[in-house]
Structure formats: C-alpha cells, structure tokens
Amino acid sequence: MWQGRTMAWEDDLFALLDDLEQQADALYDAERAPELADRSRAEYQQVTLASRLMASVGREVGLEVAGVGAVAGVLERVADGWCLVRGADQDWVVTMTAVRSVSGASDRAVPEVAWSPLARLGRASVLRRLAEAGERCVLHDTAGGRVDGIPRRVGADFVEVAVGEDARVVLVAFATLAAVQSRD
C-alpha cells in the first residue's frame, strides 16, 4: 500500500511539473510572438522593389511610370536599375527610380545575391545595345518630355540621340530618363 501511495504522490508531482512546464512554454511563446513579428518586419525592410520584380519575371505586370503613365505587359527582365516589359505593341525599358507603383507582382522576392551576373548590367548597357543596332525608339523623361530618335552613343550619365531627318543630336540625361519605348 505504501508503494501505491508513493506512486500516486509521484504521479501528482510529475503532473504538476508537466503543467508548470506547459504554462512556462505558453508564456514564453506569448512573450516571443511580438518579438518575432517585429523581427519579420525589420527583415522585410531589406527587400527592394527590384528583388520583388525579379521574382515576378514572366508575369503580367502593370507599372505606373513617372512622366509616362501606365505601362503593362510581361515582365521579361530585371537588372540593375531597370526592367524590361514586353507590351502588346512595344517593348519598354523602364528605369526603376521612375516606377511609382506595380500591380501583378509576385509575393516572393529574389535577393540580389541570387541574381544572374547579367542582371548586374545597368541601363547604359541596354542603351549601348540599342545604339549598336540602330534601333529607333522614344526616350521618355520623368517630366513627360519625349525624344524620338536613334541612340548613337552612350556617355557616363547621358545618351546621345539622333533626331529627325537631319540627325540633329539631342543629349538625354540619365537622371531624368524614365523609360525607353521601342518604336517599330
């Protein structure tokens, strides 16, 4: 009998200790939940628009671009400071700093360390390629201005564009360039 009492007493003690441990776990979880939520918010502040767009490559997106307005199409490429949107009639090379809003983006993000080395090419590379190909295009600035012509040469912070029949040269500063629209 004595042994039966000891067992009942021990069972009660272990049950009490288990209950206290569960209460401590619940209190710890309750105290930690706001800290985890705060950490999650703090980590999300590291996510860039470009990394969200990188995860959206291949999706139909809508961009609101300063000086241009709405640009819609399939997001084909994202790179350092620019993205390529293939619309129904034209392709658009959009400067990231001119993007006001994006709709249709993925909920995910791709950190820059996971990007292809080609994604590190800046918009000057795109403009040099257009110049080499002699592609006629429209360069839109953030204030709503347009320059219709053929990019000829690309400087450190500008692009030289041949405009009109007389091939008059216009320099377009990168600082105000919002988008480049294909013409043909």
Domain boundaries, the chain: 49-182
If you average pLDDT over every residue of the chain, what do you get?
Answer: 88
Distance in angstroms (rounded) separating the CA atoms of residues 13 and 18? 9
2.30.30.600, 1.10.10.60, 3.40.640.10, 1.10.10.10: CATH of 49-182: 2.30.30.600
Q: What is the 3-state secondary structure (H, E, C) of 53-108?
A: HHCCCCCEEEEEECCCEEEEEEEEEEECCEEEEECCCCEEEEEHHHEEEEECCCCC
Given a cut of 50, is residue 1 above it in pLDDT?
Answer: no
Q: How far apart are the C-alpha atoms of 160 and 149, rounded to whole Å? A: 10
Express each pLDDT in 89-101 by its tens digit: 899 999 999 999 9
145-157: per-residue pLDDT in tens? 999 999 999 999 9
Average pLDDT rounded to a whole number, residues 130-144: 95
Tell me phi and psi for residue 5, to 5 degrees.
-65, -40
Residue 2 has pLDDT above 60, yes or no: no
